[in-house]
Amino acid sequence: MGGERLIDDPLSVITLVPLAMGLILMILPRVLPNSSAERLIQVSRNISMGVALAIATITTMLFLGQLGSIDWTNITQGGYVLQNEAVDLIPAIGVTWKVGADALSFPMIWLTAILIPISMLVEWDAKRAHLFFPLLLIMEGALLGVFVALDLFVFYVFWELTLIPMFLLILLWGGEDRRYAAMKFFIYTFTASVFMLIGILVMYFHTEAIAGLGSLSGHHFDLIAMTAQENLIPNEGLRHFVWLLLLIGFATKMPSVPVHTWLPDAHVQAPTAGSMLLAGVMLKMGAYGFLRISVTVFPESTIEFVPLLIFLGMVSLVYGAWVCMGQTNLKRMVAYSSVSHMGLIFLGIATMQPLGIAGALFMMFAHGIISPLLFAVAGAFKHHYHTLEIGSMRGIAHHSPWLAAHMMLGWMASLGLPLLAGFVAEIAILIAFWMTYGWLVLLPALTLIVTAAYYLNSMQRTIFESNDSEHGILPDTLHGEDPSDLTWHENAGMLTLAAMTVLFGIMPFIFWDMMSDWSSGFVIDTMIEAMQAQEWSP
Amino acid sequence: MSSIISDMDPATAQLILPELLMLGGIIAMILVPNFGDATMRIPLTKIRIPFLIGGTRFATTNNPKLPNQIATTTLALAFMTSLLFLSEEGDVGNLLHVDEFSRMFALVFSAALLLASLATTVRLPARPKASAPLDTDSTVISDAKVNALIDNRRQVDFHILLLTTGLGMSLMAMATNLFMLFVCLELASLSSYILVAFHKENDVGGEAGTKYFIVGSVVSAIGIYGMSLLYLWNGNLDMTDLAASWDAMEGMDPLATIGVGLMLVAFGFKVGAAPFHLAVPDAYAGASSPVAGVLATASKAMGFVALIRLLLVVTMPSEGQAFWFLALSIIAVVTMTWGNLAALTSDNPKRVLAYSSVAHAGYMLAALAATGSGLADSDTSALIVTAVVFHLVVLVLFKLGAFLILSMLEAEGRGHRMEDLHGMGRRDPVIAASMFVFMLSLAGVPPLSGFLSKLLMINGIVNVSAGSGSASASTALSWAQGVDPVFWLAAAIVLNSALSLFYYLRIVLVMFFESPATEKPLKRAPSLRMAIIACAVLTLLFGIGPLSNSLLDMVGSAVDSFMGS
């Protein structure tokens, strides 16, 4: 792991430290005597921010090669870097603490580590801060756990663990209808992951015990060994069945039509930081799990179900965009545009080409910085204008120039303006799609154009146009008062996101290289063989 | 028993030390609260010597909290000595055999009863300062005072019954003779009938006790009838001897088969298997929560010890399918499905937990059934028994823990309707979070111990059916037709667990989403609160990490000591 022994096992550290710190910050004030408890509550926000920044620093250093000196573009296919020495959790049934990263997971790890301090910054003035910020730390640990775990048991535990902080964020800091939204969110995603668990268990029962693992049960949860095991589930019908079970879990999280209905409700009710993490990272868990488990372990079934993927992707893309146009609520609109973009990820994977898969990976990352920007904008909008209805105001550029600027940039990036991060992903996916499926590409391409036109029109009216050159039209909820512009912390958070959007639009190669390297290795090593076995052609 | 007493030497005494402690506790419970300053005059002199029994009782012995303290101490000591002498092994007389297996269950029983005894301080509060009502008191105050006095009077009765239950259960786990087994089982059962009926202050308590007693005694009679048939067939009831005769038996002897079948009815009632489970929800709902918790954990474990001994020691054929395989499989599937469906429609949290306990009995029966399929080798059988015993051990934590929480509600006169759980999250976040853990563990969500035990049971069944089901079958349907029927037991457990999620989550949802009838926090009850939190933490620790592994090792070696003998 390189010359520096500063941190032996950075991935375990960045996963476990925020979990532990979050728990300590929540529990300690209840145990301590009163005076020191008060002080702890006051500084709890700063401590949380410090931990989050430290983790962001560690991951950035990992990326730049200053820690561990890793060459991210040259990871052997199927191999992982930064692996730890597996720690036995329940050796009798083959559960170990085993972490690692590759080009599929690392952009997500970095994204999570960066987004947490930003979302903390945006909601710097949150109520009940002594609970809010530690909860975000717990969220960070759980999310990172999903991306670093190489043991399906641990993966599943973290997958479920992400539900609890998000559920509490919506329930305790949400809008008027938060109970309904929190319950719907919990029931949808929990039920779906039960299907996923059954799929994982069937996989588990097909593994063969390896040295030191599964002494009692004869099976293990080790993902690397599962991938390496030739023909994990020999029976074709059962394998397809398992693949579909996993898909239910992942597609609900992404979310894909028809199991997407929890998303708009959850987003509208969630606090700003919750929405940012939900859209930025939690949705990506679905795509990540799909690539990491379904596609990697069962490439044959994936090829078999390519038509289903295209169908789900197309429907999500077109339906999401269409419904998005009918929304008057800003957050709901962003939520549906997320559904639409997640459809593109399915399409990218369905191309079965390195370019398409790399595009899907980049889409996961790009959407992970653009949608938090949009939700931060929506949150600030709610905060300063006390409404989310788009039609109720015109010409906000006059009152809140910073807000208007961020909003404009966010929407431009979201609809795929060249030189912004979203464009790279969209164009890569569309080109790959055209190469594989020819003129079928017209449907997604035209949808993107039509929605772009619609957004431009409505943004133009909301932001710039005004009948009265002095004031524009302000919503009734302000009761005639003049709205204020962004606070410093909101602006700082959004500026960071905006800078990243531009940076990764101009220089996508920062992550694109490792992604395309991973994708071509993936297609060559995993997919080609399966394609030939099935004599697959589009 | 005479042989036991005449054989008693220090080594034997050490073997049954936990049971001796319980016996000592029972004697102390009878004597100590009666200690007073009575004196006796030596005739013809003026010297009075203290006589202790009678007279005016001392302040300490007069304290109505004393029985609870005696019971708690005794059970804690029994638990610790069981743990300390876990690996001691040997015969006591010729009816009892102590090994790790029986010790393991002694641990389960004493832990469950210890928790129940802790909860009783809240559920059946002893009030040292209670006074008789005056004529001037209003009816309300007078009733309260009478109740306090009655509670005080009932302390000894209740706790002595707890200890006899524990004694009967622990001895039963050691019995190597069917008759001894049955006598101990009855000692525990009779005590538990009275404990169920102890909840006298409302109408359901007495009714539940009566119902439980009537059904229980009929079923016991059936069991004894079955045992007498076995005696007729073999000439003695020693289990190893019975097993030898069973092995040597040509074909199926009707006398023996019917005998075993009738005994299965008796033990099936103890574990709450369908269709003998019908009294279970009534009994649980009528009993006070700590007692219901004991019935759902210790009493169930007792039934499973009897079943394991009867099925795996006596009637397991050396090869081929056991005659009870099909019957037990069907009973298991019916039990778990019935339990879960009934729990879905139930509106009383205690009934929900009772039906969930029926469903859990179904899961364990399914695992036991798989050992008799004729496909299991000794390793797989050991794995399955380990899973079942492990489940019984951790069940004490999360099933009894849930009942303990209900007993906190009962202390304020609630806990019989789903509405009573409303808004627990707001009233008492720590207790609500513990309930959340218990419910998830009951449903079998990783990484809690309920998942680990369920996974091991499913794993055992799947390993039994491994290799069946043609790998070349191209569709899931043709594979499904080819797979061995045993596999469907595992599938039934998985489907039922998914079904059960709904009612467990329902309890969680009402705790966090509905607004409470009162904002008042729950009773403080520090010892009970600690017990609940300890249960919740252990539910997690026994599910993942080094502690779970050492418990698995412990259970594994206990099962080895049993399977090996």
Mean pLDDT in chain B? 88
Q: Tell me how close the Cα of A177 comes to any Cα of chain B, in angstroms.
A: 12
Would residue B119 count as lying in a domain? no
Q: Tell me how close the Cα of A380 comes to any Cα of chain B, in angstroms.
A: 28
Closest CA to B517 of B432, B433, B424, B408: B424
Confidence class for position A532, pLDDT limits 50, 70, 90: confident
Confidence at residue A66, expressed as pLDDT on a 0 to 100 scale = 75
Kindly provide the b/e burial profile for residues B365-402, where b requires at least 16 CB atoms within 10 angstroms of the residue's own CB: bbbbbbbbbebbeeebbbbbbbbbbbbbbbbbbbbbbb
Chain A residue numbers with beta carbons less than 8 Å from the beta carbon of B501 are 190-191, 194
- pLDDT tens by residue, A87-127: 888 888 888 898 988 888 999 999 999 999 999 999 888 88
Would residue B175 count as lying in a domain? no
Please return the burial class of A510, using the count of CB atoms within 10 Å of its CB with bins 0-12, 13-18 and 19+. Answer: middle
Chain B residue numbers with beta carbons less than 8 Å from the beta carbon of A91 are 549
Interface test with A, best of B381, B483, B513, B537 (most A CBs within 10 A): B513
Q: Which amino acid is at B101?
A: F
- A93 at interface of B, judged by CB pairs closer than 8 A: yes
- A218 at interface of B, judged by CB pairs closer than 8 A: yes
Kindly provide the b/e burial profile for residues B444-457, where b requires at least 16 CB atoms within 10 angstroms of the residue's own CB: bbbbbbbbbbbbbb
Would residue B96 count as lying in a domain? no
- Looking at per-residue pLDDT, the higher value among B468 and B64 belongs to B64
Asked if the model's pLDDT at residue B449 lies above 50, the reply is yes
Percentage of chain A with pLDDT > 70? 95
CA distances from A507 to A405, A501, A513, B105 (A): 22, 10, 11, 66
Q: How far apart are CA A428 and CA A87, in angstroms?
A: 40
A237 closest CB neighbour out of B456, B476, B505? B476
- pLDDT tens by residue, B45-74: 888 888 888 788 888 888 888 999 999 999
- pLDDT tens by residue, A176-206: 888 888 888 888 888 898 899 989 988 998 8
Asked if the model's pLDDT at residue A472 lies above 70, the reply is no
- A534 at interface of B, judged by CB pairs closer than 8 A: no
Chain B residue numbers with beta carbons less than 8 Å from the beta carbon of A242 are none
Chain B nearest-CA residue for A198: B494
- A419 at interface of B, judged by CB pairs closer than 8 A: no
CA distances from A302 to A315, A349, A515 (A): 18, 10, 20
- A3 at interface of B, judged by CB pairs closer than 8 A: no
Domain region containing B409: 321-565
Q: How many domains does chain B have?
A: 1
- A88 at interface of B, judged by CB pairs closer than 8 A: yes
Would residue B367 count as lying in a domain? yes
Q: Tell me how close the Cα of A219 comes to any Cα of chain B, in angstroms.
A: 9
Q: Cβ contact (<8 Å) for B513 and A183?
A: yes
- A208 at interface of B, judged by CB pairs closer than 8 A: no
Chain A residue numbers with beta carbons less than 8 Å from the beta carbon of B511 are none
H or E segment and range at residue B484: none
Q: Cβ contact (<8 Å) for A179 and B513?
A: yes
Structural tokens at position B65: 């909290």
Confidence class for position A417, pLDDT limits 50, 70, 90: confident
As a whole number, mean pLDDT of residues A27-47 equals: 82
Dump the DSSP string for A149-188: B-BHHHHHHHHHHTHHHHHHHHHHH--TTHHHHHHHHHHH
CB under 8 Å to A460, separation ≥6 — which residues?
none
Chain B residue numbers with beta carbons less than 8 Å from the beta carbon of A156 are 446
Closest CA to A387 of A176, A97, A231: A176
Q: Which amino acid is at B192?
A: S
Q: Tell me how close the Cα of B85 comes to any Cα of chain A, in angstroms.
A: 25
- pLDDT tens by residue, A121-149: 998 888 888 889 999 999 999 999 999 99
Confidence at residue B18, expressed as pLDDT on a 0 to 100 scale = 92
As a whole number, mean pLDDT of residues B244-260 equals: 87
Asked if the model's pLDDT at residue A4 lies above 60, the reply is no
> Are A110 and A60 within 8 A, CB to CB?
yes
Confidence at residue A2, expressed as pLDDT on a 0 to 100 scale = 40
- Looking at per-residue pLDDT, the higher value among A454 and A366 belongs to A366
Interface test with B, best of A185, A204, A205 (most B CBs within 10 A): A205
Candidate ranges A62-76, A115-129, A448-462, B458-472; pick with highest mean pLDDT: A115-129
CA distances from B549 to A97, A153, A218, B181, B546 (A): 14, 15, 15, 31, 5
Q: Tell me how close the Cα of B385 comes to any Cα of chain A, in angstroms.
A: 12
As a whole number, mean pLDDT of residues B534-554 equals: 91
Would residue B208 count as lying in a domain? no
Interface test with A, best of B477, B479, B506 (most A CBs within 10 A): B479
Q: Which residues make beta-bridge pairs with B238?
A: B177
What φ, ψ does residue B238 adopt, rounded to 5°? -70, 135
Chain B residue numbers with beta carbons less than 8 Å from the beta carbon of A215 are none
Q: Tell me how close the Cα of B402 comes to any Cα of chain A, in angstroms.
A: 20
Domain boundaries, chain A: 305-476+485-538
Number of Cβ within 10 Å of residue B78's Cβ equals 29
Closest CA to B113 of B304, B287, B290: B290
> Are B284 and B357 within 8 A, CB to CB?
yes
Interface test with B, best of A16, A19, A27, A90 (most B CBs within 10 A): A90
Q: Cβ contact (<8 Å) for B475 and A90?
A: no
- Looking at per-residue pLDDT, the higher value among A283 and B523 belongs to A283
- pLDDT tens by residue, A224-253: 888 888 778 888 888 898 999 999 999 999
Would residue B331 count as lying in a domain? yes
Chain A residue numbers with beta carbons less than 8 Å from the beta carbon of B513 are 179, 183
CA distances from A400 to A366, A464, A484 (A): 26, 11, 7
Chain A nearest-CA residue for B477: A237
Q: How far apart are CA B553 and CA B162, in angstroms?
A: 30
ipTM associated with this complex: 0.83
- A160 at interface of B, judged by CB pairs closer than 8 A: yes
Would residue B388 count as lying in a domain? yes
CA distances from A2 to A6, A61, A413, B258 (A): 10, 13, 38, 72
Chain A residue numbers with beta carbons less than 8 Å from the beta carbon of B553 are 92
Asked if the model's pLDDT at residue B188 lies above 80, the reply is yes
Would residue B103 count as lying in a domain? no
Q: Tell me how close the Cα of B124 comes to any Cα of chain A, in angstroms.
A: 30
Chain B residue numbers with beta carbons less than 8 Å from the beta carbon of A160 are 445-446
- Looking at per-residue pLDDT, the higher value among B536 and B485 belongs to B536
> Are A172 and A130 within 8 A, CB to CB?
no
Q: Tell me how close the Cα of B465 comes to any Cα of chain A, in angstroms.
A: 11
> Are A268 and A175 within 8 A, CB to CB?
yes
- pLDDT tens by residue, B222-251: 999 999 999 999 988 999 899 999 888 887
Percentage of chain B with pLDDT > 70? 95
Chain A residue numbers with beta carbons less than 8 Å from the beta carbon of B462 are 205
Q: Positive or negative CA dihedral for B105, B110, B115, B119?
A: positive
- Looking at per-residue pLDDT, the higher value among B317 and A471 belongs to B317
Structural tokens at position B523: 């009773």
Q: Tell me how close the Cα of B133 comes to any Cα of chain A, in angstroms.
A: 42
Asked if the model's pLDDT at residue A217 lies above 90, the reply is no
Chain B residue numbers with beta carbons less than 8 Å from the beta carbon of A301 are none
Q: How far apart are CA B289 and CA B295, in angstroms?
A: 10
Q: Cβ contact (<8 Å) for B383 and A216?
A: yes
- Looking at per-residue pLDDT, the higher value among B316 and B403 belongs to B403
Q: Which residues make beta-bridge pairs with A473?
A: A394
